[in-house]
Each structure stands twice: as C-alpha cells, then as structure tokens.
Amino acid sequence: TTVTDAEPTTLQNKLLINGEWTASANGKTFVVENPATGEVIAEVADGSPADAQRAIEAAGAAQADWARTSPRERSEILRRAYDIIISRADELARLITAEMGKPLAEARGEVAYGAEFFRWFSEEAVRIGGDHTTSGDGKTRIVVTRDPVGPCVLVTPWNFPLAMGTRKIGPAVAAGCTMVFKPAELTPLTSLALADILIEAGLPAGVLNVVTTSDAGSVVGPWMSSGIARKISFTGSTEVGKILLRQAADNVMRTSMELGGNAPFIVCRDADIDRAVEGAMMAKMRNMGEACTAANRMFVHRDVAEEFGHKLADRMSALAVGNGADAETEVGPLIDSDGLSKVQSLVDDAVSKGAAVVAGGSRPDGPGYFYPPTVLADVPASAELMSTEIFGPVAAVIPFDDEDEAIRLANDTEWGLVAYLFTQDIDRALRLGERLEVGMVGLNTGLVSNPAAPFGGVKQSGVGREGGRVGIEEFLEYKYMAIPRT
C-alpha cells in the first residue's frame, strides 16, 4: 500500500514496549521545552530501570521470529514508513522545530534526509549477499551467509531528532534486528512520532521498543549489562561513547560509534572564494552549527583570509535570527542554556587571547537560547575552541602560510570525522585530501551527509559507518558452513 493521504500524527508521549504504548512503571514524566520560548510543549513518560528491563526482554523475545521474516517483508515496512514520513513532512518538521529549534526550512530538509535512510535501506534489505567458494586444497565447499547480529541498543542525540533515528532503525530493520531505542531527553517527541509511523507501517510488536527517560544511564546501563543486547549503535559525545564502549566490553557487544568532530575547513589560495564562502555557510550554519560535521576551525591561506573573513561576515550578519517556526527565520536558538553559555565562553576565551570579532560576538536579551552568527578572525592556536567542539554559529578563521602547515594544523586534533577542502587545483585537492586524517572529505562543498554514502570518522570520532553500501554491514554477522566435497 502507498500512503497518499496525510493523516495527523497523534502526539505520542508514552513508552513503546512490545507494541503497546504504556506509562512508565513509576508513573513519572518529564517535560520537553521549546528552546525558542522556554515554554513546555509536552510531558513524556520518564522510563525507569524496570521499563528498560521489560523493553529489552521484549526485543529479545521478538528476535528469532523477526530474523525469519523475508527480506521483502522488511523492505516493504521501511518503504511504507518512508511514504508516511513524506506524506506528513510538514507536520514532522513542525515537531522537530518545536522541540529542537531549527528553522522550519531546515527541519523540512531533515525530514527529507531522514526519510531517505528508510528508502535506501528498504532497497538494501533485499540485497544482503553471501559467498560460496572452494577451499585452497579443493576439499571443502565454503558457504558464507549473513545473519542479523541480534537485539540492538540505539542511543541518539538531540541535534537531528528524526534523521539520527532513521539512520539506525533503517539498517536494523533491513538486517532483521530487534531494537531498544533511547532518544535524547531534550527531543523525544520526534522519535515517538517515528515509532508510531513504523507501527502504522506494519512493524511487528517487540521489534522496536522505545524508552524515553530523563536519566539516560538508568535505562541504557541495564540494556548494556542485560546479556540480551548484542550490539550498541550510539551517536553523541566522545565522552559518553567511551562509557558505552567500556560497558560493551563486558558482554563483548558489537559497537557502532558516531562521536564528536572538530572539522577543519581549509581554503587554499587558489580557491574560488565565493564558492568557499557558500560552502562555509553550509558547513558552519546548518543546524545553527549544532552538528558533529560543523566546520570548527577555518584555516584560510593568509593571502585570501581577509577577503574570505569579510565576505563570510557579511553573509552571516545578514541572517535572520529568531523562532524557527517563523517563516523568515534563518537561524534558530541553541538547544539549551548549557549550549549557549558554552558558546559564549569559547568566544570570550578566543577574544581574550587576541582573536578579532568581525561579526556578532555577544548574545541578545530576551527569552530563548539565541546566539548571533559570529565570525572571529586571527584566532590564535591557544584558543580553547581549537580543541573543543563549538556547537554554535561561530566561525573561527585562522590564517596559514603553506600546505604543510594547513595539514599539520588540520590533523592536530584527537578527532577525525570530516574535513572541508576548497581549491581549484586537482593535484592539490588529491594531495591534501589523502593527507587529512578523517573519514570524510567535502571537496569544494560544505555538505557531506548523504544516505547513499558511508558516514563516519576515524580516531576518536568513532567506530563504524552509517549509510551507504556498508551501513547494513554494521547490523549483520557472518556465518560460514564447511561442507566436504565428496
């Protein structure tokens, strides 16, 4: 069936356990706020360890039957869910904006991007391959098959409330894994709406269980130590990722980790400066800079640094800051007061160490966690933001003199998610691209996220890849049968 009519999604605020929407065992709830106004928009169930236990048991009990469903069946559930998301794009975008703050146009972009993971993995579900070879001595047939890894723990952040969920649920469903899912406490509503859509699309009871909570460790901890979960897929901070990696070790669980970034944005002397500014707007301002892929350090050749900085400052100061729900808004609020004070203190630190403010710099009065688009020039190497994810609309421009220096500065970080590189010289592009210690390179573009591509990082940015041809591999095991040739 294709969904053609957009039906309103009821706002879900309970836990989803074994196909049923239920209150938390202790009856508690927590509130969700709109970061543009500080208003409470909903109360959701505050899951407890007892709820976590029921959820993981449901996922464990559902695993065997779910693994036996046909690839086509799983594919069609994802495809139907994709169709429903698209038919309700506007409604979902409004929900994302209400709980997370991004402008509606960006929220619509996230819906299209997030939905695409379901369409992509609906196509991958029926292409799970295997292998058949003969041993070197000719005596054995080697038949290799792929099985789902088993029940998965999914934990997501607040910055892309829909897409971070679909990017994990899509391949898990395609592979035949059951799931327990804990969305970020700041943005649980979109995840609950997504779960509702999957049920409507025909996902059987127990395959996806969602537990919202104000105390992440009290729900995820029991899942990690349950012995039922076989895998954890996490997107969030490197700090929490390390805790989960340690917990995963106790049960030797498979891990996929999408952790922090500290993306260098390199503009060479021969770059098309207008194109670099365009790319910088995307790499810096998408999601108000609240993305692990956000350009954190802009290394610009000294000969073009001033031109680049001024052009970028002109563009950034022209952006309309406001409530994301207003049609004219181009920059929404930051997620909360912690995020806001972190950005302000990173700017203050850089300025106290000698950086020049070319645009923005201090926050406006009034409600909401707003921070103005800010450009800092001549940022010194000692500034804290050089080694800290800014997660806000602040562009830090650092001049460099030659290629080797640019590479040394770019790689001088424990992270290695993405780098952006602007040059019109093909040899330089390949030379520098090869030397960057990252999982992804945007060459003359400020956007690398794409469901058809393997997203992920090296060094402390993570383990594994999401999306692309390899995305489903993270949820599959190998099994081989040895069969003598008689």
The alpha carbon dihedral of 20, 24, 28, 29 has a sign of: negative
Q: Is 258 a catalytic residue?
A: yes
* Paired tokens of 194: 């997504």
Question: Closer CB to ligand ADP, residue 34 or residue 156?
Answer: 156
Cα 363 → chain centroid? 27
* Strands 15-17 and 20-22, sheet pairing: antiparallel
Q: How far is the CB of 340 from ligand ADP (least distance, A)?
A: 14
Strand residue runs (E) in 90-211: 131-134, 140-148, 152-155, 179-182, 208-210
Partners of 321 in the β-ladder: 331
* Strands 295-301 and 356-359, sheet pairing: unpaired
Segment contacting ligand ADP by CB under 6 A, of 37-45, 123-131, 214-222, 416-424: 214-222
Greatest alpha-carbon span in the chain:
82
Q: Is 341 in the site for ligand ADP (CB under 6 A)?
A: no
Residue 301 in 3-state DSSP?
Answer: strand
Site string for ligand ADP, 236-255 (x = CB under 6 A): xx--x--xx-----------
Q: How far is the CB of 51 from ligand ADP (least distance, A)?
A: 15
CA-CA distance, 343 to 388, in Å (whole number)?
A: 10
Residue with the shortest CB distance to ligand ADP: 236
What residues numbered 14-73 form the site for ligand ADP, per CB under 6 A? none
Residue 57 in 3-state DSSP?
Answer: helix
CA-CA distance, 259 to 293, in Å (whole number)?
A: 10
Q: Is 185 in the site for ligand ADP (CB under 6 A)?
A: yes
Q: Is 155 in the site for ligand ADP (CB under 6 A)?
A: yes
- Residue whose C-alpha is closest to residue 158's, from 243, 217, 235, 92: 235
Q: Is 184 in the site for ligand ADP (CB under 6 A)?
A: yes
Phi, psi of 445 (to 5 degrees): -150, 150
Of the candidates 35, 157, 261, 361, which one interacts with ligand ADP according to CB under 6 A? 157
Q: How far is the CB of 414 from ligand ADP (least distance, A)?
A: 16
Segment contacting ligand ADP by CB under 6 A, of 135-143, 152-160, 203-211, 277-285: 152-160
Encoded amino acid at 292, one letter = C
Catalytic residue chosen out of the listed positions 99, 258, 278, 389: 258
Task: With residue 341 as reference, give the H or E element that holds it.
Answer: helix 337-352
Q: Is 340 in the site for ligand ADP (CB under 6 A)?
A: no
Concatenated DSSP letters for 430-470? HHHHHH--SSEEEES-S----TTS-B--EETTEES-BSTTT
Number of residues in contact with ligand ADP under rule CB under 6 A: 15
Q: Tokens 């799931």 sit at which residue? A: 179
Question: Closer CB to ligand ADP, residue 124 or residue 474?
Answer: 474
Q: How far is the CB of 29 from ligand ADP (least distance, A)?
A: 16
Question: Closer CB to ligand ADP, residue 337 or residue 424?
Answer: 337
Q: How far is the CB of 342 from ligand ADP (least distance, A)?
A: 10
Of the candidates 50, 126, 132, 217, which one interacts with ligand ADP according to CB under 6 A? 217
* Paired tokens of 129: 């391959």
Partners of 145 in the β-ladder: 479
- Residue 260 near residue 283 (C-beta atoms within 8 A): no
Q: Tokens 């969305």 sit at which residue? A: 183
Q: How far is the CB of 184 from ligand ADP (least distance, A)?
A: 4
Q: Is 417 in the site for ligand ADP (CB under 6 A)?
A: no
Segment contacting ligand ADP by CB under 6 A, of 24-32, 235-243, 364-372, 437-445: 235-243
Segment contacting ligand ADP by CB under 6 A, of 13-21, 233-241, 362-370, 473-481: 233-241
Q: Is 151 in the site for ligand ADP (CB under 6 A)?
A: no
What amino acid positions are annotated as catalytic residues?
A: 258
Which spans of this chain sit near ligand ADP (rule: CB under 6 A)?
155-158, 182, 184-185, 216-217, 220, 236-237, 240, 243-244
